[in-house]
Amino acid sequence: MPVLYGAHRSRATRNLWLAGEIGLELELRQVWQAYRLDRADGPEAPLNTRSREFLELSPMGAIPVLVDGDLVLTESLAINLYLARRYGGDLGPRDEAENALMTQWTLFAATSMEEPGLAIQNAYTYGRADTEAGQSEIAHMVERLGRPLRALERHLSRERHMVGGRFTVADVNLAEILRYGQAHEPLLADYPSTDAWLRACQARPAFKAMWEKRSAEPMWL
């Protein structure tokens, strides 16, 4: 059984959602981000991103990490592409062209959308959204997202899904990255096809099951 080291309040959500879609049983080994702990060091500290045991797997000290036999993967999006290709059936690529397109859209989201989306989410999470500086930061990040959102809207105005006319790992990867920007409710007002696609993705039972567990996990220990 593949083992996933991580936490629900992390990028492991991508992997846990996909596993739910596939019906793949993953063994989740809880690893806390060190910043979420009062004390991350010492013999009584739970397994966390500064634990020596974990750093043997992930020298960057980042979650999630997948261990599947002799394979160790340390990037959540790479983990998803691997799981979909090996275990995912039609959630993965049917041919090399689909594999290339799934990789393309995943990299598109990671390079064009994740950084500004996370900045928006963090502004809301840490209480900056109601400040003048926070509002300026959010406006700047929304502007940065305009170019990729226009490209995404053009695609989704013609297609129901990202690749192959069906729900795949590419939808999971993009939806989980675009989710960060949802903290700013007006973000998708000018992108109705993208908004409808994202809501449909998040209405899926596997997403809801993952989100319920994420919401139940404490933010801090």
Q: Where in the chain is the domain with CATH 1.20.1050.10?
A: 91-204
Q: What is the pLDDT of residue 43?
A: 85
Tens of each residue's pLDDT in the chain, 221 residues: 999 999 999 999 999 999 999 999 999 999 999 999 999 998 889 999 999 999 999 999 999 999 999 999 999 999 999 999 999 999 999 999 999 999 999 999 999 999 999 999 999 999 999 999 999 999 999 999 999 999 999 999 999 999 999 999 999 999 999 999 999 999 999 999 999 999 999 999 999 999 999 999 998 98
Work out the number of other CB atoms within 10 angstroms of the CB of residue 188.
22
Counting every residue written for the chain, the total comes to: 221
Work out the number of other CB atoms within 10 angstroms of the CB of residue 174.
25
Please list the residues that pair with 67 across neighbouring strands: 3, 72
Q: What is the pLDDT of residue 42?
A: 83
Q: What is the pLDDT of residue 108?
A: 98
Q: What is the pLDDT of residue 25?
A: 95
CATH code assigned to 3-90+208-216: 3.40.30.10
CA–CA separation, 134 vs 122, rounded Å?
10
Q: What is the pLDDT of residue 174?
A: 98
Q: Where in the chain is the domain with CATH 3.40.30.10?
A: 3-90+208-216
> 91-204 sits in which CATH class?
mainly alpha
**pTM (predicted TM-score):** 0.97
